Amino acid sequence: MQLEMLPTTVIGSYPRPKWLREAISLSRNGRIKKEDLEEAFNDAAVVVMRDHQKAGIDVPTDGEVKRDEMVEFFAERLNGFKFYGPVRVWGTAYYKKPSVVSKIEYRNPMLVDEVQFTKSISYTPFFKVTITGPYTIGYWSYNEYYKDRQEMVFDLAKVINTELKNLVEAGSKIIQIDEPAIHSNADEVKWAIDAVNESVKGINAKLMVHICYGNYKIVAPYLNDLKVDQINFALKMYNYKPLKLFKEVGYDKEIGAGVIDVHNRNVETPEEVYRDIKRVMEYFPLEKIWINPDCGLKLLPRDIAFSKMVSMVKGTLMMREELKKNGTISS
């Protein structure tokens, strides 16, 4: 079995069904049992997978419905972290910013259960699992123990590497390292790339890195140094301007092209997606292009997230049809 040309995927997160959010708050008040909440989480993963299937996504995820947040989840499960109060990020969104207070060490597998369950419910062998990368976990944590951030991030790379080995053993064949913070600091980006490489050392899977909002100029010269198969980017929100930059630096890996704006509730039309894919094809060879939203869909209303996925797939199918008709790809 093989993926079609221009494979479609999601970045990872998907809106939690409303009933799951209610179940979570009931469990916080002690009104439903732990087992019942676990069942609700599993059921939610099933419906998200089903949404992805209905939309026609080639490489789905479980929507990360079991994780509250992308740094906190891992910090809670590793040795060395302590939590202070919530910190404000992006307007009204808050998160519990963790602090590193002792050496970061691996405790137990963090995502193995999630992978095993996702594998058991996936409609395709090409499901994807996501994990937050070492630089982003380090950048979004306080450092109260290490000499500097670099030392902290390289210890994080070690524990992520251990986790990745366990995920491959559990059946992960496509793994995405989320590094939305990697282009936050121009003075650190070079070793941040090395840290990601350290985290994927010896990992036998198709590897992707997700980089989204921020200054791509900071990271562009180092993209080819990442020892992964693919990097996926937010492009729609930037009206595809970064494509020129990536071309200029000689970027030559697979590119996951963000064609859906996750900060805008207007649903892109399939025609718009088709035209946008055409623009990406002007810069990169067809066989190196994957199609995805700019970022996770989690913060959108569920019906809008779903409609956006449907348009993304329809626009991709329009392009595939055209390529088959003109003989560029075989049908």
| 183 is an annotated ligand-binding site residue | no
Please give the size of the binding site for Zn ion, defined by CB under 5 A. 3
- How far, in Å, CA of 6 to CA of 217, rounded? 26
Residue 238 Cα to chain centre, angstroms: 18
**Nearest to Zn ion of 208, 295 (CB atom):** 295
* 156 neighbors 139 (Cβ within 8 angstroms): no
- Judged by CB under 5 A, the stretch of 22-30, 31-39, 162-170, 210-218 that binds Zn ion is 210-218
Per-position DSSP letters for 236-275, written without gaps between them: GGGTTTHHHHHHHTT--SEEEEE-S-TT--SPPPHHHHHH
Q: Which of residues 121-140 bind Zn ion (CB under 5 A)?
A: none
Instruction: Show the binding pattern over residues 179-198: x = contacts Zn ion (CB under 5 A), - = does not.
Output: -x------------------
Q: What radius of gyration do the chain's Cα atoms show?
A: 19
| Closer Cβ to Zn ion, 104 or 297, answer by number | 297
Q: How far is the CB of 213 from Zn ion (least distance, A)?
A: 7
CA gap 256, 233 in Å, rounded:
6
Q: Is 110 a residue that touches Zn ion (CB under 5 A)? A: no
**Residue 295 labeled ligand binder:** yes
Q: Which of these, 3, 6, 4, lies nearest to 285 by C-alpha position?
A: 6
Contact pick of 207, 235, 295, 309 for Zn ion (by CB under 5 A): 295
212 binds Zn ion (CB under 5 A): yes
Specify the residue, 91 or 327, whose C-beta has the smaller distance to Zn ion. 91
Angle of the 302-325 helix axis to the 270-283 helix axis, nearest 10: 60
Instruction: Cite the annotated binding site by residue number.
Output: 210, 212, 295
Q: What does the binding site for Zn ion look like in residue numbers (CB under 5 A)?
A: 180, 212, 295
Binding-site members for Zn(2+) are: 210, 212, 295
